[in-house]
Amino acid sequence: MIKRIIQLFLILIAFLLLPSASPSLAKDAQVTALRWTSRNDGDPPFVRIAMDLNKAVHAEAAIDNPGKNFEVILRNTSLGKVATQYDMDPRAMDLVTLSEKDGDTYLDVALTKPQKIDDIRVFALRPDAKMKKPHRLVVDIPVIGAKQTYKKKAAAPSSSASPSSYKKQSYNVSSDAKSVLKGKVICIDPGHGGTDVGAIGHIGGKEVYEKNITLSIALPLRDMLKSAGAKVVMTRETDKDVYGPWADADPELQARCDVANEAHADAFVSIHIDSFSNSSVDGTTAYYNAKSSKDLLLAQMMHQATMNSLSIPDRGVKSNDFYVNVHTAMPSVLMEMGFITNGHRVKMLTSTWGPRGIAQSLFNGLVNYFSAIS
């Protein structure tokens, strides 16, 4: 066992609240299983530890001062019939233990090399009915100094959804678009991110996360708008939480509104991917809140541009009181760009051309909106 409590100078990274947890502490939560796997498809490679849970829990993560002992504390969580000691990948860790103390469960990882807490990723996955998976808490521990043995295929559909491969670029933009967008401040909000993966889809038995798709649309949209001379403000440009890990919905969404409000943006576009239990459902919806006379117009222009350029079912322009639409001080729209649970759509959303095509349609919508109000 690691002499953790005495030795650790606990650096608390976050008070973790799983997205679907209630603000009260989870009672009767239990770790029902632990799996681990060495993954060579990351750069660097990493060891993924996944704990199955019967419900969402509060968790905290900490590391000691030399960075050799990493710990995740699952509050008010008991340990089910699960092995308590693991010999995992010796490239990353010497020993992993699970223990229960005072009603909390501890995952302790003795690392072979010192690590920084920011490099260890902890995130939650909601239950996934299709894959028959429960609540999960996932810990990804990098294998430091290992050579990447896995080479990404250039056009692999499952990896192209990963925006980490996106390279900043400039686009050819019409002079009309330039004259309309020049100097406009536009805030782009790629939905979800970091500990919040958003909706989950599947390709070939692998999970696909909404947070990666929204970013893979937002990044080319950013560059198209910049190429037209707009000032683009992004709520995030990488796979991260905007407010902080495991935040409740309101502070997380307010942080996104703050980015737009503080930049005095002229328009706010939140990008999301929909999901539904019935996989035949697909289509795009533009949501707005009629807080100003221009919110509906923005939604209509974005929606129309989407229908003009994408072959996607029409689910209309709808009024709603989504947080980001209500709490932004400028005209704003929340675009649901198809269903991740639809087999045809998720292929398009994770292709190399799909997100770019969606970005182009959103770009056209913004050009049409700003030319309509000028």
Q: Which is nearer to Zn ion, 108 or 189 (CB)?
A: 189
Taking the complex as a whole, the smallest distance from the CB of residue 275 to Zn ion amounts, in Å, to 8
What x/- string results for residues 178 through 207 when contact with Zn ion is judged by CB under 5 A?
Answer: -------------x------x---------
- Bridge partners (DSSP) of residue 296 are none
What is the closest distance, in whole angstroms, from the C-beta atom of residue 29 to Zn ion in the complex? Answer: 26
Q: Please tell me the count of residues contacting Zn ion according to CB under 5 A.
A: 3
Nearer to Zn ion, 171 or 323 (CB): 323
Nearer to Zn ion, 74 or 215 (CB): 215
Q: Which is nearer to Zn ion, 191 or 201 (CB)?
A: 191
Q: Give the shortest CB-330-to-Zn ion separation in angstroms.
A: 21
The least CB distance from residue 364 to Zn ion, in Å, is 22
Stretch that binds Zn ion, among 3-11, 105-113, 133-141, 270-278 (CB under 5 A): 270-278
Chain residues 30-89 in contact with Zn ion, contact rule CB under 5 A: none
Whose Cβ is closer to Zn ion: residue 58's or residue 236's?
A: 236
Closest contact distance (angstroms) between CB of 191 and Zn ion is 4
CB of 299 to Zn ion, least distance (A): 16
CB nearer to Zn ion: pick between 142 and 198: 198
**Per CB under 5 A, does 338 bind Zn ion?**
no
Stretch that binds Zn ion, among 127-135, 233-241, 267-275, 321-329 (CB under 5 A): 267-275
Q: Give 45 or 191: the residue with its C-beta nearer to Zn ion.
A: 191
Among positions 4, 236, 272, 327, the unique one binding Zn ion when judged by CB under 5 A: 272
Q: Which residues bind Zn ion (CB under 5 A)?
A: 191, 198, 272
